Amino acid sequence: MMLMPPFTLHHPTTVDEACELAARLMSAGEAFDWVAGGTDLVPNYKWHINTKPHVISLAKIEGTDTISSNELGCMVRLSELTEENGVHPVVGQAASKVASSLIRTNATLGGNLCLDTRCFWYNQGEDWRRSIDWCHKADCGTGADCRVIPNQNTLCVATYQGDIAPTLMVLGASVHLIGPNGARTIPIDAFYQLDGMKKNVLEEGEFLLKVTLPDDAAKRTGSYQKLRVRDSWDFPEAGVAASWIEGDPNSLVLATTALESIPRTHPEEVASILEGGWDGQASIKALSTAVQKSVKPVNNTALPPRYRRSMVRVLTKRAVQGLLE
């Protein structure tokens, strides 16, 4: 039986109150987590994975459920990311492929963007992890070695497996972060950090407040393709998002997810293909191969890295062809 460890749950109702609470806990040396929908954090806590004595909920904070074509609050449920609510179709397309309808009703945009990285040596019950003497990401103070790439404890290679981030990247979105030290805004493709433990650039006490999209995002046509073991529930084993302004191949932006510790765009691969001019299917084929060569999945998810990498070419081709439909 997986029993939840004890912790104190806090329910601030304003952003200022949340930041003040975070500052007090930090001053007292008390560790804490933020929680939105809880579909990622709660299972991890049941598995006793990096639990904290305090959890601050964002659920009751005013204004965090804003939803429009240019602004999405961190508490917007994935089930609400639809064209009917003014959300860009490619974001809705990715959201509709997340887990099951029940999960999407509870899961949030902020939670999906801030997903903990995953690895089958890490996302296991406490007894199982103890039996293998832990791992680098959850070493319980033992200094355990990385089980995926042994004999190096400088980098965790746990994989980011979120669906929404690459679609926001190809639309040029920005994330708004806030904490006790103030607010800041950065492009979403600068939000993630190539380290399975650090995951992103959030500083202590910060949380992701909202996402904004540029005005020209509405001009873009987008497509998202996902590889998973089952059509419902599963995290992506690979994902590719693409967008462009119709009729302008030079506006093409492409991003991948679930292949490394970060989702990321591929400007160099796109630029290398566009240098020779856009040549329809020939360019799509060359781009698909270039993106495939650029990704480096490791053996820490359900499907073998060689298969996931080979499928990147297929997903890229489908995503870009989807722009033509």
In a domain, 261, yes or no: yes
What count of other Cβ atoms lies within 10 Å of the Cβ of residue 10? 18
In a domain, 187, yes or no: no
User: Is the pLDDT assigned to residue 1 strictly greater than 60?
Assistant: no
Helix or strand run (H / E) with residue 322: helix 305-322
Question: How do residues 41-64 score in pLDDT, each as one tens digit?
Answer: 999 999 999 899 999 999 999 999
CATH number at residue 303: 3.30.390.50
Average pLDDT, the chain: 95
Q: Which two tokens stand for residue 19?
A: 């930041």
Q: What does the alpha-carbon distance between residue 75 and residue 59 come to, in Å, rounded to a whole number?
A: 7
Q: What is the mean pLDDT of residues 258-273?
A: 98
What count of other Cβ atoms lies within 10 Å of the Cβ of residue 81? 26
Give residue 151's pLDDT: 81
Question: How do residues 313-324 score in pLDDT, each as one tens digit?
Answer: 999 999 999 999
Question: How do residues 115-141 score in pLDDT, each as one tens digit?
Answer: 999 999 999 988 888 898 888 888 777
Question: How do residues 67-111 score in pLDDT, each as one tens digit?
Answer: 999 999 999 999 999 999 999 999 999 999 999 999 999 999 999
Domain that holds residue 278: 220-322
With 0-12 / 13-18 / 19 or more C-beta atoms within 10 angstroms meaning exposed / middle / buried, residue 86 is middle
Domain count, the chain: 1
Q: What does the alpha-carbon distance between residue 40 and residue 13 come to, in Å, rounded to a whole number?
A: 22
DSSP output for 271-299: HHHHTT---THHHHHHHHHHHHHH----S
In a domain, 13, yes or no: no
In a domain, 302, yes or no: yes
Half-sphere exposure of 180 (CA within 13 A, CB side): 11
Query: Nearest to residue 91, comparing CAs of 157, 34, 169?
Result: 169
Percent of the chain with pLDDT over 70: 99
In a domain, 60, yes or no: no
Query: Nearest to residue 38, comparing CAs of 19, 1, 63, 11?
Result: 11
Q: What does the alpha-carbon distance between residue 137 and residue 290 come to, in Å, rounded to a whole number?
A: 31
